[in-house]
Amino acid sequence: MVRERLISLDVFRGLTILLMTIVNNPGDWGNVYPPLLHAHWNGCTPTDLVFPFFIFIMGVAVPLAMPEKKYDETTFNKILIRSLRMFCLGIFFNFFGKIQLFGLDGIPLLIGRLVITFAVGYALMGSFSTRLKNIFAFGILAIYLILAYGRFENYQDVRLPGVLQRIAVVYFVVSLLYLKTSRKTQILTGAILLLGYWAIMTLIPVPGFGEANLERGTNLAAWVDSIFLKGHMYHETNNWDPEGILSTLPSIVNGIIGLFIGQILLLTVTKIQKAQRMGMIGTALIFFGLIWDLVFPINKSIWTSSYVLYTTGLATICLTALYYIIDIKEFKKGFKLFVIWGVNPMIVFFASQIIPQALVLIRFQHPSLAGEQINLLDYLYRFRIAPFFSNPMTASLAGALTYVAIWTFILWIFYRNKLIFKV
């Protein structure tokens, strides 16, 4: 079977990574338009769609990348190592800001951290033999765990969960489900995960807090994180993690639904028929997600089952619309920007986590406050962007769009020279 490349999927991926870049890099976190922030607890903003869209897209891509469903030891090892490489890349983001070298500070420390970043990035994204990939992936993971749990002061509170870590887990599970099970089994697995998670979160009492609840920091998912991730959670939540252990289970279903859509795209029916099926599925998912929201509120932080259905429904509708416009009607004008972003998401994700942290380490004399220092990131925004805008929220958005423009130029160079960075 010939591998099918969907331009619409690249565009959808590009739109998602571009939105991620905007919401993750405002000029001023104190002045951000509400749609570019996560919902405080229950509810769903456009920002809350980014992560589940990524997982959905990854699920769609699995059958397109492996249309023949060939499973053997070699295939399993490829899936395992790719998952592990993503997992290790994700953890490195949390280690970067904590790396200390021989008492260095300022620019020398930054240079040292960047050298290590390049080495780790190359080891995890470079093209090597299978044996070397295994050695690098398992070796780097072992180093992380030794530093995190080896009573090293600088790393005793380093965060271990994260976005790429969750994507890695979902990719591993979904890939094996695709290769080893039927579509019926995949659907059944997804239903069991969603219903089981609902039952666990709403019926099981929470040790130390009493009855089951869905409140911040006192729900069962938070309790599980506090036991198994103690000292290694997101610093702003402290006693639970938004990419924690228990809430990872329903996120697998985002990948499973994407997997199902990807298999529809491989069917030997007309493109119009594929679009019709996808549209009906997306509409049904949104409907049932909103119904479930009445008793199990849509919530990204604990990744509720209703949130899974609602976000995958929206993702399916978005992909269907793009598929119809681009792959059926062959209207491709105006989408080149998103293709450029969509074919190289990993390098954007990796570098975007490192660059802001690096700029913060570059400090110098504040231009207008004697005796005060300012870091380069704040300087560029406050003195080179913000003065041109009277509305602080607009200025903050302009800072994010400036960052997007810089990355667009970089990605265009990569695209023009056919440089694609993969894990």
CA atoms within 13 A on the CB side of 172: 17
pLDDT of 15 > 70? The answer is yes
Model confidence over 206-236: pLDDT tens digits? 999 999 999 999 999 999 999 999 889 988 7
DSSP-assigned letters across all residues of 36-67: GS--SSBS--GGGGHHHHHHHHHHHHHHHH-T
Residue 246 has a CB neighbour count (10 Å cut-off) of 20
Percent of the chain with pLDDT over 70: 99
397: Cα separation from own chain's centroid: 21
User: In three state form, how does the secondary structure of 233-288 look?
Assistant: CCCCCCCCCCCCCCCHHHHHHHHHHHHHHHHHCCCCCCHHHHHHHHHHHHHHHHHH
Q: Do residues 57 and 258 touch, judged by C-beta distance below 8 A?
A: yes
Q: Do residues 339 and 411 touch, judged by C-beta distance below 8 A?
A: no
27: Cα separation from own chain's centroid: 21
* DSSP H or E run through 374: strand 373-375
pLDDT band at 67 (very low <50, low <70, confident <90, very high): confident
Model confidence over 280-291: pLDDT tens digits? 999 999 999 999
Distances in Å between the Cα of 382 and the Cα atoms of 22, 24, 194, 386, 392 are 18, 18, 46, 5, 11
Model confidence over 320-377: pLDDT tens digits? 999 999 999 989 888 999 999 998 888 888 888 788 888 888 888 888 888 888 999 9
Model confidence over 103-146: pLDDT tens digits? 888 889 889 999 999 999 889 988 888 899 999 999 999 999 99
Query: Can you give the pLDDT at residue 41?
Result: 94
The pTM score is: 0.93
309 is a domain residue: yes
Query: Can you give the pLDDT at residue 294?
Result: 97
**Which position has the higher pLDDT, 200 or 370?**
200
Query: Can you give the pLDDT at residue 2?
Result: 43
53-57, 70-74, 207-211: the lowest-pLDDT one: 70-74
pLDDT of 315 > 80? The answer is yes
pLDDT of 415 > 50? The answer is yes
Query: Can you give the pLDDT at residue 369?
Result: 83
Query: Can you give the pLDDT at residue 214?
Result: 95
If you average pLDDT over every residue of the chain, what do you get? 92
Query: Can you give the pLDDT at residue 3?
Result: 53
Query: Can you give the pLDDT at residue 339?
Result: 93
| pLDDT average, residue stretch 45-52 | 97
| 3-class DSSP state of 205 | coil
Give the separation between CA 302 and CA 253, rounded to whole angstroms: 14
* Number of domain units in the chain: 1
pLDDT of 4 > 60? The answer is no
DSSP 419: -
259-273, 275-289, 365-379, 391-405: the lowest-pLDDT one: 365-379
Query: Can you give the pLDDT at residue 368?
Result: 84
pLDDT band at 159 (very low <50, low <70, confident <90, very high): very high
Give the separation between CA 398 and CA 394, rounded to whole angstroms: 6
Q: What b/e sequence results for 14-34 when a residue is b if at least 16 CB atoms lie within 10 Å of its CB, and e otherwise?
A: bbbbbbbbbbbbbbbeebbee
Query: Can you give the pLDDT at residue 1?
Result: 43
Q: Show the tokens assigned to 226.
A: 């506090």
Q: Which of 317, 312, 307, 319 has the alpha carbon at shortest distance from 280? A: 317
Query: Can you give the pLDDT at residue 323?
Result: 97
89 is a domain residue: yes
- For 72, residues 6+ apart whose C-beta sits below 8 A from its C-beta are none
| pLDDT average, residue stretch 238-247 | 91
131 is a domain residue: yes
Segments forming the whole domain that contains residue 282: 38-330
16 is a domain residue: no
20 is a domain residue: no
Q: Show the tokens assigned to 418.
A: 């056919």
